[in-house]
Amino acid sequence: MEDNQNIDNIREKINNVDSEILKLLANRRKLSEDVINTKVESDKPIRDTDRETELLSSIISKGKEIGLDSHYVSKIFYDIIDDSVRLQQNHFRSSFFDNGTNVIRVAIQGIEGSYSSMAAHKFFAHFNKEIIFISKDRFDEVAEEVEAGRADFAMLPIENTTSGGINEVYDLLLHTTLSIVGEEKFQVKHCLVGTENSTIGKLEVIFAHYQAAAQCNKFLATLPDAKIQYFADTALSGKKIKEEGNSEYGAIASEEAAKLFNLKILQREIANQPENYTRFLVCSRKPQEIDSRIPTKTSLVMATAHTAGSLLSALTVFSKYDVNMEKLESRPIIGNPWEEMFYLDFAGNIKDENIQSLLDELGLHTRFLKVLGCYPAQEITKAKLDYFTGNKVNSEKSEEIKPKETEEKLVKNKKPKSYKLASRDYKPEDTIIKVNNVEIGGNNFVVIGGPCSVESHNQIFSCAKHAKESGTQILRGGCFKPRTSPYSFQGLGFDGLNELKSAGKKYDLPIITEVLAPEQVAEVALQSDILQIGARNMQNFSLLKEVGRVHRPVMLKRGMMSSVDELLNAAEYILSHGNRQVILCERGIRTFETTTRNTLDLGIIPFLKEMTHLPIIVDPSHAIGVRDKIVPLAKASKVVGAHGIMVEFHPDPPSALSDAEQALTFEQYSQMMKELYEL
């Protein structure tokens, strides 16, 4: 009895000490907040790693004097310093995460109790707000909740140390408008759980998310009699067996989910690797600006030319600017067999002049470039110590990276242009866009030919056959037609696109068709090799932004009353949103002259070639609008230096459902091709 009282007394003393420790930790955090306010006012660096090293050295020495080993002391104080640094970083970011309420709405794939929800709790813990989870079944639905404003943030798993990258999320990042604003690396501890009467030997079905199953496949291989049934989420797997109440059902879930649904843990730590972590990305509708004093990471996606050495040229840029690339992941480009998109993480803040120069030069080596987000790096560099002496071995000072001096400058000392990426100042050499085996730009001259509209199966297949026999490189055909009259033929839509794609495939011709609305872009891009923006949509900025987010080349037609400066700024919208494959098209402008449908501005071609590196195509069909006058303008286009032409032809021009007056006959088209070849 006396022994029990002694133990109780000792435990009470331990509890008192623990309480004092908590109070001291709270006081230390309060002092850290005072330091933050001082740094904000004085603009001092967030970290002083020299002081941290001195502090740890002193504490380790004092610890030794009272019988505490170095590892024990340093482990505790590393955590304390880590908390202090994160507290300071979050203070500088608090305004971004302040939505004016006491709650944060976070969209997740799965339900509360899932790893996504636990990672969100960890990430947002410092902001002292209630988290309301919006549960969805699919990752794209998670992104839609944030894009629509129904959620403040999305928590998306991007990679796991055991099973690797999560392909659906990588593909989603390419097409979403969200920005990455944070990351959280969360330790995943998978358990095999069951109902009250379950045993491992009794299980016949195990419910699991496919990623969780992949991470635990070695353990699952020891249960050959149990069938694996994939489920949408780990927590949902636990909920499922709870609802079923079948002792022969098990699930792979977290210990937290087991507690949430009152399930029995049959075995802990069943992942292939004991150190099993999932990295989550926090995404929002708008990007955040990161204080230059905070160690920062930037993520981007890019596509390079499908030629030898193109990826190497792009990656060499990081070495040139002395920037550490932390991750490189490839994903296939849907619709472009054997071509890849590359996802990169690198250390650096896009506000930094050195990083801005890097991105500018990287753009010269890519045909698609999109910054996915700039956000604080989760890893906090620790001052390295010699535990025997307590002396500093190495520390990294939080110094601002100075721009690397380079002899060559990307931008000449001229008056800055509003269309930076489209200008020759940015890229002196010609952009050459490769579509299948067709190269547009440089010294090449290409002919794009076909009917104004896809009208039927027979019509487009006969045009494709004639185009191929005549030496045409690209097949055109309108599927969605913007018409002045609401009663005119509006095109066959996606049925027409299917026919155009089939005709192009049969005769080995890339295809081009027009897109009219942002919501069409993604679906049309799956089938059409080139997207066309018509003259009426040259300044449809929502549409320009959307085609800027896809990897397909875009032909941008000059507006009917637009200046060249306006054309190049419209191209800049596309380029600035990632798509570096833009083709300009001169198709005539409206002037006081009414003899022709429009006035073809061939005189601007030499000037455009001096102003921009982008390929330039001429459309004489829409410019003149008269069948018999098109061929001379087509020939003149080649003479003045255009990179190609786009011409309409039809099996029976008088019967054409749109622009019949400007469609060449098959015979006229063949003769034009012959004369062009002889020039």
Q: Are strands 103-109 and 130-136 parallel, antiparallel or unpaired?
A: parallel
> DSSP letter at 510?
-
Give residue-wise pLDDT tens across range 52-107: 777 777 888 888 888 887 777 777 877 787 777 777 777 666 667 777 788 999 99
| pLDDT surpasses 70 at 574 | yes
CA 435/CA 504 separation, integer angstroms: 13
From the list 141, 120, 142, the residue with the least C-alpha distance to 131 is 120
pLDDT at 386: 47
Give residue-wise pLDDT tens across range 282-325: 999 999 888 888 889 999 999 988 777 888 999 999 999 999 99
Could you tell me the maximum CA-CA distance found in the chain, to the nearest angstrom?
A: 115
Q: Is the dihedral of CA 601, 606, 609, 614 positive or negative?
A: positive
Share of the chain above pLDDT 90, in %: 61
In this prediction, residues 583-597 reach a mean pLDDT of 90
| pLDDT surpasses 60 at 334 | yes
Which amino acid belongs to residue 363?
Answer: G
| pLDDT surpasses 70 at 42 | no
| pLDDT surpasses 50 at 395 | no
pLDDT at 570: 97
Q: Are strands 325-332 and 368-376 parallel, antiparallel or unpaired?
A: unpaired
Residue 318, CA distances (Å) to 326, 363, 423, 430 in order:
11, 12, 23, 23
Q: Are strands 438-440 and 433-435 parallel, antiparallel or unpaired?
A: antiparallel
| pLDDT surpasses 90 at 672 | yes
Instruction: Pick the range with the lowest mean pLDDT from 97-111, 400-414, 508-522, 643-657.
Output: 400-414
Q: What share of the chain is helix, strand, coil (3-state, %, to 5)?
A: 40, 20, 40
Q: Confidence class of residue 416 from pLDDT cuts 50, 70 and 90?
A: low
Q: What stretch of H or E contains 7?
A: helix 2-42
Q: Which two tokens stand for residue 465?
A: 């056959």
CA 90/CA 41 separation, integer angstroms: 16
CA 175/CA 522 separation, integer angstroms: 8
Give residue-wise pLDDT tens across range 609-656: 999 999 999 999 999 999 999 999 999 999 999 999 999 999 999 999
CA 31/CA 23 separation, integer angstroms: 12
pLDDT at 45: 67
Contact 272, 216 (CB under 8 A): yes
Average pLDDT, the chain: 87
pLDDT at 29: 79
Contact 217, 266 (CB under 8 A): no
Quick one: CA torsion of 312, 314, 320, 324, rounded to 10 degrees?
Answer: -90
Q: What is the DSSP string of 642-668?
A: -SEEEEEB-SSGGG-SS-GGGPBPHHH
In this prediction, residues 188-204 reach a mean pLDDT of 92
**Which is more confident, 382 or 611?**
611
Give residue-wise pLDDT tens across range 420-474: 999 999 999 999 999 988 999 999 999 999 999 999 999 999 999 999 999 999 9
Give residue-wise pLDDT tens across range 366-377: 999 999 999 988
Q: Which two tokens stand for residue 228?
A: 């694996």
In order of their start, the domains of the chain are 2-92 (1.20.59.10), 191-275 (3.40.190.10), 433-481+490-667 (3.20.20.70)
**Which is more confident, 22 or 664?**
664
